[in-house]
Amino acid sequence: MIEAELISSLQNPRVKNLVKLRDRRPRNQQGLFIAEGYRAISRALEKDVVPTEIYFCPDCFLGDNEDALLAQAQAAGATLFELSKHAFEKVAYRDRPEGLLAVIKQWNHTLDDLQLSDPPFLLIVEAIEKPGNLGTILRSADAAGVDAVICCDSVTDLFNPNAVRSSTGVLFSMPTVTASSDEVIKWIRQKGIRTIATTPHTDILYTDTDLRGPLAIVMGSEQFGLSEKWLSACDTKVLIPMAGQADSLNVAMATLITLFEAVRQRPSPIHNS
């Protein structure tokens, strides 16, 4: 039996705080973030990430599995609150809310926390600006089977609601570290991991480059690409050829292309989707 306090007022302090958690400063001050939707919350629970609170609205449910998920979350220790439809629409950040929103504690992994495979396979991203791209990059990294994603000199926030949403729950399973470029360059060299950067300023095709062995693929920001610091630090620079008028690809798309060329070359237990 699900037990939950009913909240209907838009002036309720909990409702007001959920709206605040859309913004980075309140998120960081409270050490919390929000994840919305059945898939994100179920994947969090699968990875033993237990929300501190879950807010739900039966009038917005899309299926028949929500009650079981709520019962699972409550049994794991989450506190449940039922919201009126009006109140839920106030706190939801999706255009079509599913009636489920969780408040979850932030985490902070370090480079030393990472468990690397043999040989290591990493993705490094520098100064990604758009949270939707960051979430999509996490999905691509997960699909390619990388050990971890390392975010250097972050512009956007890993716990931005749009990053959480576009990751489709992969955020809870993909080891992700935020660090400065200087820290990461030093660490990657100590580990003996070769770095590959994509740039239009080379004639070496990404498909003609050996992407086996200890490897980190390094991708730059949407607007400026990789900084001179990273271009100088990387062992090899490769080109993704383009035939049209566009002078660059979306960073999430370029990341996906490069990752899966590495997957093609590397022996790995990738399963069919």
For 153-259, list the strands marked E by DSSP. Answer: 176-179, 194-198, 215-219, 236-238
Residues 36, 101 contacting (CB under 8 angstroms): yes
Residues 129 and 200 in one domain: yes
Domain membership of residue 192 (yes or no) is yes
Q: Are 240 and 254 in contact (CB under 8 A)?
A: yes
Asked whether residue 87 falls in the same domain as residue 127, the answer is no
- Residues 191-239 have pLDDT tens digits of 999 999 999 889 999 999 999 999 999 999 988 889 999 999 999 999 9
Q: Are residues 135 and 239 in the same domain?
A: yes
pLDDT at 270 > cutoff 70:
no
Q: What mean pLDDT comes out for the span 57-81?
A: 96
Task: Look up the CATH number of the domain holding residue 19.
Answer: 3.30.1330.30
Q: Which pLDDT belongs to residue 125?
A: 97
Domain that holds residue 53: 5-105
For 131, the token pair is: 């949270």
Q: What is the pLDDT of residue 237?
A: 97
pLDDT 10s digits, 236-254: 999 998 876 555 678 999 9
Spatial CA neighbour of 217 closest among 191, 200, 233, 194: 194
Confidence band, pLDDT 50/70/90 cuts, at residue 268 = low
Average of per-residue pLDDT across 39-61: 97
Buried b or exposed e, range 219-244, using 16+ CB within 10 angstroms: bbbbeebbbeebbebbeebbbbeeee
Q: How many domains does the structure of the chain reveal?
A: 2
- For the chain, give the mean pLDDT: 94
Q: What is the pLDDT of residue 65?
A: 95
User: Cβ distance 151 to 177 under 8 Å?
Assistant: yes
Lowest mean pLDDT among 36-50, 56-70, 76-90, 236-250: 236-250
Q: Is the pLDDT of residue 94 over 90?
A: no
Q: How much is the pLDDT for 269? A: 58
Find the mean pLDDT for residues 1-14.
Answer: 92
180 and 55 in one domain? no
Show which of 71, 105, 139 is a domain's final residue.
105
Query: What sections of 48-201 are H helices per DSSP?
Result: 66-76, 85-91, 131-144, 161-166, 181-190
Question: Which CATH number is 136's domain given?
Answer: 3.40.1280.10
Say yes or no: 69 and 142 in one domain: no
* Shared-domain flag, residues 221 and 130: yes
pLDDT tens for each residue of 111-138? 999 999 999 999 999 999 999 999 999 9
Whether residue 272 is contained in a domain is answered as no
Same domain assignment for residues 260 and 162: yes
- Is the confidence at residue 45, as pLDDT, over 60? yes
